[in-house]
Amino acid sequence: MRVLGRRYDSREPVVVVIDDGRITNVSAGSQAPTSEPLPWLAPGFVDVQVNGFDRCAFNDPALTVEEVIRVSCIFDRYGVTSYCPTATTDSFEALSRTMATLARACDQSAEVASRIPGFHLEGPYITPEDGARGAHPRQHVRPPDTDEFLRLQDAAGGRIRILTLSPEYEGAPALIARAAAAGVVVAIGHTSATSDQIRAAVDAGARLSTHLGNGAHGQLRRHPNYIWDQLADDRLTASLIVDGHHLPAAVVKTFVRAKTAARCILISDVTSLGGLPPGRYDTPALGAVELLPSGRPVIAGQTQILAGAAVPITAGIPNLLRFTDEDLRSAVDMASTRPAALLGRQRPWLEVGQPADLVLFHLKGADQATAVGEVEVVATVNSGRLVFGQLPRA
């Protein structure tokens, strides 16, 4: 397979040759002066926080292997070559069932296994406090339990790669250390932790801040607080929801400047509303929700309280370009190479020997009314196979 496009990092036309799932050659390409601009060529997008999509919720007790397969392939059209299905706070029985279903999907389908590097367990070891708890059900919030986590990991077939918890509990450092030693990326999120507790968590091995600035109290002490503490610690990478609704532009710009782009990744945190048209929907976790024409998902009957996210990770790229001083290379890296590196995967750079997980796209102008721009995906290559669209003639 030969892939022609403009490198997202150097802007130069290149031809990438792929064989047996890997890049075997990268050479200079060319483009006729009168032809349409070549699409951007970049590593495939990697989304480490996906709650569902297209009416499918991974926390749904009725989740099936077939639904996991269907949703996994839907992401091809958005250039997402890898994603982490995310299960949120629930009973042990419900979480165990979800993990087992996801594991069976990976075992039974090569299509799923090639797209899912691991699962994300967000909760149940989070704060019980309103605001910071977000939409997680309070009745299932509980302190860290290492034995329970290991049983969930067993149900997942060892595939839990990210664990989001609050370090406000006495037993948190022990679980963090145990999970980190086993290769799990431990993240801080939905927390009421003090500065000392944040520091102890990072010392124990926490490496990520889950959707920093969201899942937080409506009012915080100006300083110190857990947002400042996480911004200041260079050992933590921050994941950000840059859909135009979860974080104001000024906050995104400030966070990226404080952490630096090298310590930020984009996530979607998308729910079962992803990919759906505006309208009113019933969801397993939140009940009646409404997806407004602006793309803002809210609890039905009002317009301010968010009901998760409804757009894929691709929406974050043009928003990041408009909200910050970052360039295209930086924005794409936050959605591809950096989350891939966080998971310990071989970085999908455009170099010989690297995995052939690629996306070709055009970047359209952002809609100023909705603050959500558009990445128009032309083609997606996953593990050396064309899984969506058409390739430019090389």
- Report domain extents, the chain: 2-42+349-389, 43-343
Return d(Cα 114, Cα 46) in angstroms, integer: 12
* pLDDT tens sequence across 202-229: 999 999 999 999 999 999 999 999 999 9
Q: Nearest 5 degrees, angle CA 286-CA 290-CA 295?
A: 115
- Tell me whether strands 80-88 and 45-50 are parallel, antiparallel or unpaired: parallel
Average pLDDT, the chain: 94
**Eight-class DSSP state of 346:** P
Tokens of 290: 């409404």
Q: Into which CATH architecture does domain 2-42+349-389 fall?
A: Roll (2.30)
Distances (CA, A) of 347 to 92, 184, 313, 333, 338: 34, 18, 18, 10, 8
For the sheet with 358-367, list strands across it: 22-28, 13-19, 2-7, 40-43, 358-367, 372-382, 385-389
pLDDT at 96: 99
Task: Identify the residue with better confidence: 142 or 36.
Answer: 142
Task: List the one residue out of 91, 215, 225 whose CA is nearest residue 164.
Answer: 215
**One-letter identity of residue 82:** S
Find out whether 141 and 124 touch, Cβ atoms under 8 Å: yes
Classified by CATH at the fold level, domain 43-343 comes out as TIM Barrel (3.20.20)
Return d(Cα 196, Cα 236) in angstroms, integer: 15
Tokens of 201: 């968590």
Q: Nearest 5 degrees, angle CA 270-CA 276-CA 282?
A: 80
* pLDDT tens sequence across 23-33: 999 999 876 55
| Burial class, 32, CB count within 10 angstroms (exposed 0-12 / middle 13-18 / buried 19+) | exposed
User: DSSP readout, 288-329?
Assistant: EEEE-TTS-EEETT-SSSB-SB-S-GGGHHHHHHHHSS--HH
Return d(Cα 235, Cα 346) in angstroms, integer: 20
pLDDT at 372: 46
For 192-203, what is the mean pLDDT? 99
* pLDDT tens sequence across 66-99: 999 999 999 999 999 999 999 999 999 999 999 9
Strand, helix or coil at 208?
A: strand
pLDDT at 31: 67
pLDDT at 348: 65
* pLDDT tens sequence across 326-354: 999 999 999 999 999 999 987 768 999 99
In the chain, which ranges are continuous DSSP H helix?
65-74, 92-108, 110-113, 146-155, 172-181, 195-204, 226-232, 249-259, 316-323, 328-335, 337-342
Determine which helix (DSSP H) or strand (DSSP E) holds 139, and give its type and residue range.
none
Give the rounded percent of residues in the chain with a pLDDT score beyond 90: 87
For 367-376, what is the mean pLDDT? 62
- Tell me whether strands 119-122 and 80-88 are parallel, antiparallel or unpaired: parallel
The answer on pLDDT for 162 being more than 90 is: yes
